[in-house]
Amino acid sequence: MKKTPARLSMIATRLSAALVLLPILAHAAAIDMQANKDRFVDSLLAQMTLQEKVGQLRMEYAGAQPNPQAMLDTIASGQVGAMFTAPTASQAGLRELQDAAVQRSRLRIPLFFAGDVVHGQRTIFPINLGQASSWDLQAIGKSARVAALEATADGLDMTFAPMLDISRDPRWGRISEGYGEDTYLVSRIAGTVIRALQGPTLGASDSLMACAKHFAGYGAVEGGRDYNTSDMSERRLVEEYLPPFKAALDAGAGAVMTALTSLNGVPATANSWLLHDILRQQWQFKGLVISDHGAVEELIAHGVAEDGNQAALAALAAGTQMSMSDRYFARGLTSLVKQGQVTEQQLDSAVRQVLATKYDLGLFEAPYRRLQPGSGPDNEARRQHRAHARDMARRSLVLLKNHDEVLPLSRHATLALIGPLADNAVDILGSWHANGEAEQAVTLRQGLQSGQAADARLLYAKGANISDNPQAFALLADNRVNFDPRPAETLRAEAVAAAQQADVVVVALGEARGMSHEGASRTELNLPGQQRALLRALKGTGKPLVLVLMNGRPLTISEESQWADAVLETWFSGSEGGNAIADVLFGAYNPSGKLPVTFPRSVGQIPLYYNHLNTGRPFDPARPAAYRSRYYDIDDTPLYPFGHGLSYTSFSVSSPRLSSTRLQAGQGLQVQVTVRNEGMRAGETVVQLYIRDRRASVSRPVKELKGFDKLLLSPGQTREVTLHLPASAFSFVDRNLRWVVEPGWFDVMVGLDSQTVQTTSFELMP
Ligand code: NOJ
């Protein structure tokens, strides 16, 4: 048929009608799906006994061998709703548990399986603090997608991740699990990770439901001591600690985990302001709220419940719907309902939520959808994603110092590789290493060996233990440690002898993975044990000294960073860590990481973070004076600021140009800068955009990150970068806990770290 103009216009009209209809149809389909789900859940609920309902609210722990008969019988009697599984649990074992639920229980309601897949399942990526150092949302998203693929193939339906706790206290061991100190950066990562884990639809067999944790305020435990109290103004909480959770929910997170801690005196698990007023009412969260491990029971120790029954009552009434590693929902809820202290309606609403979660996960349709029998051993190489692990790890490394361009190293040089973390496949995986196996991790020694030219030599000596006292690890949850019993002097002398024969000394120092983990808080943040003495002795050889740090938190390394010619922060870099670090040391990859957290000079400065308030008496290092807010016994700046990270090339950034210097209320702003690679190597950098609201009804931070862009430039290349500030970027939480925008002058700052920035300003009109 000929395409006459009349016919073309008819096609166009029909097309545009279809385009208008599409969203309406999609909306109608969504309503339909929701109605189907509600019908299904309601009809199931109507058939359930009281005991069966209580059973759905319980998550039980299945160890690595999850098959004791008693557990199977409990499941078959309908008293378990979900299993918390060890990441190493065998699929056959999980299937047996599911068999008990769907073949033996009266209503055949499937279980869902959840576990801690925090930075990878079989392929282990850098710890999250490391991933955040990449400022590379695409790479972080890909890592989360891989984790979802592997975890669902291993039988999991849900991960207890991501951890979205903002933390400004490196004494807290769990700072390693999060994405750093900054609300904006963590929020961007939160959305990315949720979308990647859950995929386009939760029912897909490779979609892993996320459980954003720990709601809320856990990262602010006093003194950085784990499980301690958090107490802060509600204004600060709402503005700085909650937005990453909101971002996670906006991205569709299916579940939220309550914190073990109390917030402003009320334990999170019994905190109806958090779980009801904010989560349900303000944010309209429609997903599942799970307690952290044993958190219901701990309400007794917190002193807000007399006994198990009161604890169960307080948790459920506040909005905790499922109890992890439950004791007291099982023991108390049935009688609480019978006595009328918990209404059927309260109980039903929690049960409905659990059933809806299983429905969303596609489990009623196919209970074994993530339990397909795999072939071959679980961690077989072909079931891993090593190329991406190497890529993610390289992007996570932060070059803190590079004096006289000691890095990159020549592939032909004789290297002395020293240190307790140099040939250590256990610690490089980090804590929460899920199903990752040390035997499959690449150590730095292996990485350097494969990166060196054929004519090069690699000398090795351990030099020191991580800690002098193996007993120091005994009470840590993750306490595997390799201890060399020889005297410290012998180990050190061996290392110095190796160093003396080398062109360059590479020394890998830091922490054992268990030292930056749950329950692993420190009062000192130095290099533990004899490692400092080792570094000093190596400095004494006069050889160029490259310090490779492996650790899960900022360390206080003021002196050490002076002794070393170069310092590379590698965190715990995962399965491909050794190769990735070698890629950076030899220059096969130009480092691009930027710190997501401030490095203090001393523990006494903590909390030290870039987006602090100005105070009434700010200290100005350029004009020192008495009666200023400072410590008189230390340089008040951080050792390394938030956003810091060097490259083997150098970049220049122009001062920012604004699309307008007078904004009407509700308007956004375009900020443009010219970035140029001034050096001889291609490299990536992160352009960071900060603002300051000069005057408002409450004090505003001296800087707040509001945008960033990571870009790759070849030598001499110039790029115009445009960063968009939406109108919401200018808002803050006022004294009445409302997000508001107030007119006035704002500074706009752009730089390659949070300290060295170029500033311009605009006025927001009333
Ligand atoms: C306690 C931790 O706080 C939480 O993050 C974790 O998911 C659970 N244990 C389960 O391992």
Q: For ligand 1, atom 10, which residue shows the shortest CA distance? A: 293
> Has residue 19 been placed in a domain?
no
When pLDDT is averaged across residues 146-157 and rounded to a whole number, the result is: 96
When pLDDT is averaged across residues 277-297 and rounded to a whole number, the result is: 98
Residue 677 forms beta bridges with which residues? 651
Q: Supply the pLDDT for residue 6.
A: 62
Q: Verify that 351 and 414 share a domain, yes or no.
A: no
Q: What is the pLDDT of residues 661-712, one digit of tens each?
A: 999 999 999 999 999 999 999 999 999 999 999 999 999 999 999 999 999 9
For residue 244, the one-letter residue type is P
Q: Supply the pLDDT for residue 1.
A: 47
Q: Supply the pLDDT for residue 24.
A: 72
The pLDDT confidence band at residue 479, using thresholds 50, 70 and 90, is: confident
Which of 292, 323, 433, when mutated, tests ligand 1's pocket best, judged by the most ligand atoms within 8 Å of its CB?
292
The answer, yes or no, to whether residue 553 has pLDDT greater than 70, is yes
CA 382 to chain centre: 26
| CA atoms of 425 and 444, how far apart (whole Å) | 9
Q: For ligand 1, atom 9, which residue shows the shortest CA distance? A: 293
Q: Verify that 215 and 265 share a domain, yes or no.
A: yes
Q: Supply the pLDDT for residue 347.
A: 98
Active-site annotation holder among 116, 136, 165, 292 = 292
Q: What is the CATH number of the domain that holds 691?
A: 2.60.40.10
The answer, yes or no, to whether residue 424 has pLDDT greater than 60, is yes
The two beta strands, 704-713 and 669-677, are unpaired
| CA atoms of 665 and 643, how far apart (whole Å) | 30
Comparing C-alpha atoms, which of 546, 551, 562 is closest to residue 502? Answer: 546
Q: Verify that 355 and 392 share a domain, yes or no.
A: no
The two beta strands, 58-62 and 323-324, are parallel
Q: Supply the pLDDT for residue 265.
A: 98
> Has residue 501 been placed in a domain?
yes
Residue 115 forms beta bridges with which residues? 159
Q: How far is the CA of 434 from the centre of ligand 1 (A)?
A: 12
Which of 116, 211, 214, 298, when mutated, tests ligand 1's pocket best, judged by the most ligand atoms within 8 Å of its CB?
116
Q: Verify that 391 and 481 share a domain, yes or no.
A: yes
Q: Supply the pLDDT for residue 10.
A: 62
For residue 82, give the H/E element and its range.
strand 82-85
The answer, yes or no, to whether residue 441 has pLDDT greater than 80, is yes
Domain count, the chain: 3
Q: Verify that 128 and 215 share a domain, yes or no.
A: yes
Q: Supply the pLDDT for residue 88.
A: 83
The answer, yes or no, to whether residue 76 has pLDDT greater than 70, is yes
Q: What is the pLDDT of residues 729-740, one digit of tens each?
A: 999 999 999 999
Domain boundary among 360, 378, 407: 360
Q: Supply the pLDDT for residue 105.
A: 98
> Has residue 465 been placed in a domain?
yes
Ligand 1 atom with minimal separation from the 214 CA:
5
The answer, yes or no, to whether residue 741 has pLDDT greater than 70, is yes
SS3 at position 187: helix
Joined tokens for residue 660: 């307008």
Q: Verify that 324 and 183 share a domain, yes or no.
A: yes
Q: Do residues 576 and 620 lie in contact, with contact meaning Cβ atoms separated by under 8 Å?
A: no
| CA atoms of 190 and 31, how far apart (whole Å) | 27
The answer, yes or no, to whether residue 44 has pLDDT greater than 50, is yes
Ligand 1 atom with minimal separation from the 218 CA:
3
Q: For ligand 1, atom 7, which residue shows the shortest CA distance? A: 160
Question: Which residues, judged by CB distance below 6 Å to any ligand atom, belong to the binding site of ligand 1?
Answer: 116, 160, 213, 260, 292-293, 518
Which of 227, 257, 517, when mutated, tests ligand 1's pocket best, judged by the most ligand atoms within 8 Å of its CB?
257
Q: Verify that 218 and 328 share a domain, yes or no.
A: yes
Q: What is the pLDDT of residues 385-399, one digit of tens each?
A: 999 999 999 999 999
> Has residue 100 been placed in a domain?
no
Helix, strand, coil tally for the chain in percent (to 5):
35, 20, 45
Average pLDDT, the chain: 95
Residue 348 catalytic? no
Q: Verify that 398 and 337 share a domain, yes or no.
A: no
Ligand 1 atom with minimal separation from the 211 CA:
7
Q: For ligand 1, atom 1, which residue shows the shortest CA distance? A: 293
The pLDDT confidence band at residue 472, using thresholds 50, 70 and 90, is: confident
Q: Is 539 exposed, middle or buried (0-12, 13-18, 19+ CB in 10 A)?
A: buried
Q: What is the pLDDT of residues 91-102, one digit of tens each?
A: 888 999 999 999
Range(s) of the domain holding residue 301: 116-360
Q: How far is the CA of 291 from the centre of ligand 1 (A)?
A: 9
Residues recorded for the chain? 766
> Has residue 368 been placed in a domain?
no
Q: Verify that 353 and 393 share a domain, yes or no.
A: no
Comparing C-alpha atoms, which of 285, 230, 295 is closest to residue 256? Answer: 285
The two beta strands, 669-677 and 651-653, are antiparallel
Query: 């533990």: which residue's tokens?
Result: 528
Q: How far is the CA of 286 from the centre of ligand 1 (A)?
A: 22
Strands laid side by side in the 398-402 sheet: 398-402, 566-569, 545-550, 504-510, 415-418, 458-461
Q: Verify that 356 and 446 share a domain, yes or no.
A: no
Q: How far is the CA of 206 from the centre of ligand 1 (A)?
A: 23
The answer, yes or no, to whether residue 67 has pLDDT greater than 70, is no
Q: How far is the CA of 257 from the centre of ligand 1 (A)?
A: 9
Q: What is the pLDDT of residues 219-244, one digit of tens each?
A: 999 999 999 999 999 999 999 999 99
Q: Supply the pLDDT for residue 469.
A: 82
Q: Verify that 478 and 528 share a domain, yes or no.
A: yes
For residue 58, the one-letter residue type is R
Q: How far is the CA of 687 from the centre of ligand 1 (A)?
A: 35
> Has residue 677 been placed in a domain?
yes
The pLDDT confidence band at residue 17, using thresholds 50, 70 and 90, is: low
> Has residue 269 been placed in a domain?
yes
| CA atoms of 467 and 453, how far apart (whole Å) | 34
Q: How far is the CA of 293 from the centre of ligand 1 (A)?
A: 6
Q: What is the pLDDT of residues 613-660, one digit of tens each?
A: 999 999 998 899 999 999 999 999 999 999 999 999 999 999 999 999
Q: For ligand 1, atom 4, which residue shows the shortest CA distance? A: 292
DSSP 11-79: HHHHHHHHHHHHHHHHHHHHHHHHHHHHHHHHHHHHH--HHHHHHHTEEEEE-SS---HHHHHHHHTT-
The answer, yes or no, to whether residue 26 has pLDDT greater than 80, is no
> Has residue 604 been placed in a domain?
no
Q: Supply the pLDDT for residue 3.
A: 52
Q: Supply the pLDDT for residue 28.
A: 80
Ligand 1 atom with minimal separation from the 213 CA:
5
The answer, yes or no, to whether residue 154 has pLDDT greater than 70, is yes
Q: What is the CATH number of the domain that holds 432?
A: 3.40.50.1700
The answer, yes or no, to whether residue 375 has pLDDT greater than 70, is no
Q: What is the CATH number of the domain that holds 281?
A: 3.20.20.300
The answer, yes or no, to whether residue 376 has pLDDT greater than 60, is no
Q: Verify that 534 and 680 share a domain, yes or no.
A: no
The pLDDT confidence band at residue 250, using thresholds 50, 70 and 90, is: very high
When pLDDT is averaged across residues 2-20 and rounded to a whole number, the result is: 60
Sign of the CA dihedral running 56, 58, 59, 63: negative
CA 76 to chain centre: 36
Q: For ligand 1, atom 11, which residue shows the shortest CA distance? A: 116
The answer, yes or no, to whether residue 11 has pLDDT greater than 70, is no
